[in-house]
Amino acid sequence: MKKIIHWGTRTFIMGIINLTPDSFSGDGLMDGSNIVKNSLRQAMQFVSEGVDILDLGAESSRPGAESVSAEEEIQRLIPALAAILKENLDAIISVDTYKSQVAEIALQAGADWINDIWGLRFDPFMAHIATKYKVPVVIMHNGRELKQGPNDSDKKNQKDIIHRVKSGLKVSIQIAQEANVPKENIILDPGIGFGKIVEENLVLINRLDEIKAMGYPILIGPSRKSFIGATLNLPSEQRLEGTSAATAISITRGADIIRVHDVQAMVRVAKMCDAILKQKG
Cα 11 to Cα 7: distance, rounded to the nearest angstrom:
8
Q: What percent of the chain has pLDDT over 70?
A: 89
Question: Mean pLDDT across the stretch 19-36?
Answer: 64
Query: Is residue 52 over pLDDT 50?
Result: yes
H or E stretch covering 124 = none
196, 224, 225, 253: the active-site residue:
225
- pLDDT tens for each residue of 213-228: 999 999 999 999 999 9
Average pLDDT, the chain: 91
Do β-strands 186-189 and 149-150 pair in parallel, antiparallel, or remain unpaired? unpaired
Helix (H/G/I), strand (E/B), else coil: 114? strand
Nearest alpha carbon to residue 208 among 236, 188, 228: 188
Report which of residues 153 and 274 the model is more confident about.
Answer: 274
259, 268, 271, 280: the active-site residue:
259
Cα 242 to Cα 264: distance, rounded to the nearest angstrom:
15
Query: Is residue 149 over pLDDT 50?
Result: no
Report which of residues 74 and 62 the model is more confident about.
Answer: 74
Query: Is residue 280 over pLDDT 90?
Result: no
Cα 245 to Cα 251: distance, rounded to the nearest angstrom:
10
Alpha-carbon separation of residue 217 from 6, 27, 148, 149, 212 (angstroms): 10, 27, 29, 28, 7
Question: Band of the pLDDT at 154, cuts 50, 70, 90?
Answer: very low
Helix (H/G/I), strand (E/B), else coil: 254? coil
- CB 73 within 8 Å of CB 44: no
pLDDT at 126 (0 to 100): 98
For the chain, the first-to-last Cα distance in angstroms comes to: 37
- pLDDT tens for each residue of 156-186: 445 799 999 999 999 999 999 999 999 999 9
225 annotated active-site = yes
Alpha-carbon separation of residue 140 from 46, 96, 110, 186, 249 (angstroms): 23, 11, 23, 10, 19
62 annotated active-site = no
- pLDDT tens for each residue of 185-194: 999 999 999 9
Query: Is residue 29 over pLDDT 90?
Result: no
Query: Is residue 148 over pLDDT 70?
Result: no
The DSSP code for 186 is E
Domains of the chain, first to last: 12-278 (3.20.20.20)
H or E stretch covering 53 = strand 53-57
pLDDT at 1 (0 to 100): 58
Q: Please, what's the b/e burial string for 129-166 (b: 16 or more CB within 10 A of its CB; e: otherwise)?
A: bbbebebbbbbbbbbeeeeeeebbeeeeebeebbebbb
- CB 72 within 8 Å of CB 97: no
Query: Is residue 66 over pLDDT 80?
Result: no
**Strand intervals (E) in 97-152:** 113-116, 137-140, 145-146, 149-150
- Sign of CA pseudo-dihedral 253, 244, 205, 167: negative
pLDDT at 24 (0 to 100): 46
Instruction: Identify the top-confidence range among 1-5, 45-49, 143-147.
Output: 45-49
- pLDDT tens for each residue of 228-271: 999 999 999 999 999 999 999 999 999 999 999 999 999 999 99
